[in-house]
Structure 1
Amino acid sequence: MAFYKIITGAALAVALAAPALAQDNPSVAARQGQFKLYGHNLSVVGGMAQGRMEYDAAMAQTAADNLFHLTRHDQSRLWPEGTDSSSLIETRAKAEIWENLDDFTAKFVALQEASVALQAAAGNGLDALRPAVGALGQSCGACHEDYREES
């Protein structure tokens, strides 16, 4: 009986010490949903900019407008401390986000600014779209380089 209690206690301790699932945290689930929406809209303008999709001014404008509005969504409840990859399974957010919050915030502001430029360029032809998509991609990449775990 004592052996059973030891094994059960050890199993419980391991389970409690293991990172929780990201999907069980509403803030992380919402954050990941927002990133999926970024990706969905970026695939439209990125596909056009890279020649994988035919340029469609209305579709490009809609995707750019969506990205603009997504970057304006209040982020304050999406990034609570303790929702990093060392604390949760299924998230790639590095703990460095909370250690360098000013830099992380500045990179998000750069994304917002790039979304404004993309919104202004999207419906004005492929020659206007390409550099704006490139700038938006660079702002995404700058944040990912420092604050997202490799997949």
Structure 2
Amino acid sequence: MRKLILASLLAAVPLIPATAFADPTPEELNVKARQGFFEMLSLNMGPLAAMAKGDMPYDEATAVLHASNIESLTRYYLPIHFVPGTSTDDMENTGALPKIWDDLDGVKEKFAGLQQAAVGVGEAVKGGQQNVGPVVQQLGGACKACHDNYRKK
């Protein structure tokens, strides 16, 4: 019985595509880095947005933590991960529109806008729920400025 199971497993090995064992390409790694950045941004924006809407009770320490995380995240220079060959025309697992590479300076400008919007947000959310909404709007506006032009809907 053990020999039959072993033989079955060994017979199935050629059916596994070679790509299943391949290392990720530089393009895949850059997409993964971008998506990881945006996931971290989203995970920190979520609680702030919930507090701003009153869906989550305001807690100053939590608000400061998430806002400060966003401020720190935006110090990372994301545009280095917009490498050629990583748009929706090239890969399935990305929302990055090809026009990013036609207007990379515009993308960098929008990212600089996000960086600017994030300056001081850790302090700005202190003092009550009424202070969280303007921060969320400021950050959300900076995010939207890029998403409207460069992200697949």
Question: Contact conserved, 1:92 with 1:149, CA < 8 A, in 2?
Answer: yes
Say if 2:58 is the partner of 1:55.
yes
Correspondence list, 1:13-92, <5 A: 25-92=28-95
For residue 15 of structure 1, what is the aligned residue in structure 2?
A: none
Percent identity of paired positions between Structure 1 and Structure 2: 36
Question: Contact conserved, 2:41 with 2:73, CA < 8 A, in 1?
Answer: yes
Question: Contact conserved, 1:117 with 1:132, CA < 8 A, in 2?
Answer: no
RMSD: 1.9
SS of 2:139's equivalent in the other structure is helix
For residue 11 of structure 1, what is the aligned residue in structure 2?
A: none
Q: Equivalents in 2 of 1:84, 1:38: separation in Å?
A: 21
Question: Contact conserved, 1:93 with 1:147, CA < 8 A, in 2?
Answer: yes
TM-score, length of structure 2 as denominator length: 0.79
For residue 12 of structure 2, what is the aligned residue in structure 1?
A: none
Structure number, greater radius of gyration: 2
C-alpha displacement of 1:76: 4.7
Question: Contact conserved, 2:79 with 2:108, CA < 8 A, in 1?
Answer: no
Question: Contact conserved, 2:52 with 2:132, CA < 8 A, in 1?
Answer: yes
Q: Equivalents in 1 of 2:80, 2:106: separation in Å?
A: 18
Where do 5+ consecutive residues of structure 2 fail to align? 1-23
For residue 7 of structure 1, what is the aligned residue in structure 2?
A: none
Give the paired residue count: 130
Question: Contact conserved, 2:79 with 2:107, CA < 8 A, in 1?
Answer: no
For residue 138 of structure 1, what is the aligned residue in structure 2?
A: 141
C-alpha displacement of 1:78: 1.5
Instruction: Give per-residue Cα distances to partners, 1:50-106, cap 9 Å, x unaligned.
Output: 111111100010001111111111325421111111101110001111111111111
TM-score, length of structure 1 as denominator length: 0.79
Q: Equivalents in 1 of 2:104, 2:132: separation in Å?
A: 31
Correspondence list, 1:101-140, <5 A: 101-140=104-143
Where do 5+ consecutive residues of structure 1 fail to align? 1-20
C-alpha displacement of 1:49: 0.6
For residue 100 of structure 1, what is the aligned residue in structure 2?
A: 103
Question: Contact conserved, 1:118 with 1:129, CA < 8 A, in 2?
Answer: no
Q: Equivalents in 2 of 1:66, 1:144: separation in Å?
A: 21
